[in-house]
Amino acid sequence: MHLLSGHDFWDMLHYNFYYEHPWFIESRSSRINPKRDWYVWRDGQPGGLRPNNWESIFNGSAWEYDKETDQYYLHLFSRKMPDVNWECPELRQELYKVTRWWLDRGIDGFRIDAISHIKKKPGLPDLPNPKQLEFVSSFDYHMNVEGIEEFLTEFKRETFSDHDIVTIGEANGVSADQAVDWVDEKTGTFNMIFQFEATNLWDKTLGALDVLALKRIITRWEKSLEKTGWNALFLENHDKPRIVSTWGDDKEYWRDSATSFATVYMLMMGTPFVYQGQEIGMTNV
């Protein structure tokens, strides 16, 4: 590590892996395979129905049928990215082992992807469906669900609690008030979390920036963490379009838009994260 005298931070996937990963290949090979419970498998409901009515974040059902074992596996994102089962102690220990392997090699820190989705509502019940939709948005049953703190506490204790590294959790669905428990200097799991409350304004306003709403969100997060935690600052990433094109003017006022947004978040309390290309004001294609 550190071949160029820099700092190495890794993006770690502890929530899902590609469906050609050796673990999943073993898990789907048989209902009695030792790694079967490393993923979330369920029988379908009578009448050929899926295990529940949850919608995938990428649309469609959150369940994919596997004809070899006649069961469905859960994938809250792509069907090619099956969810690992954090309720399985053996799976958790293997994830911790992987984390420690990198720590032993001198990694300086890591970002944990989609960490706020590791806990599901017990029993995986159907969601209320008054509109009689085919699939129902399932965030409330798998995003920052009660009980997740037990997993997070164990994860920190078993891996990086005695290491001087930087830790960032991608924690969609965690509010400014709840974030204190995630990033508290003494009792929190991570140094920082990525929250999407500000960038989600783009989805709600169809690209038109609500300046007052953005100001309220920024202020709320700074006030909530100013005495106990630290903010991770970002305006765009692989999930969010270029900020200059969405909230700014990427033609006549391209430079002014890019520098204005940079000024706002570079001067906030926290650590700014720059998505590749953002430093030159890159726009959407």
Residue 139 has a CB neighbour count (10 Å cut-off) of 18
SS (H, E, C) the chain: CCCCCCCCEEEECCCECCCCCHHHHHHCCCCCCCCHHHECEECCECCCECCCCEECCCCCECEEEECCCCEEEECCCCCCCCEECCCCHHHHHHHHHHHHHHHHCCCCEEEECCHHHCCCCCCCCCCCCCCCCCCEECHHHCCCCCCHHHHHHHHHHHCCCCCCCEEEEECCCCCHHHHHHHHCCCCCCCCEEECCCCCCHHHHHCCCCCHHHHHHHHHHHHHHHCCCCCCEECCCCCCCCCHHHHCCCCCCCHHHHHHHHHHHHHCCCCEECCCCCHHHCCCCC
20 is a catalytic site residue: no
170 is a catalytic site residue: yes
Q: Which of 8, 26, 87, 113 is labelled catalytic?
A: 113
Q: Which of 83, 170, 236, 250 is labelled catalytic?
A: 170
Residue 102: phi, psi to the nearest 5? -70, -40
Task: Give Cα separations from 256 to 216, 241, 251, 262 (angstroms).
Answer: 23, 18, 10, 10
**101-104-108 Cα angle (round to 5):** 105
Known catalytic residues are 113, 170
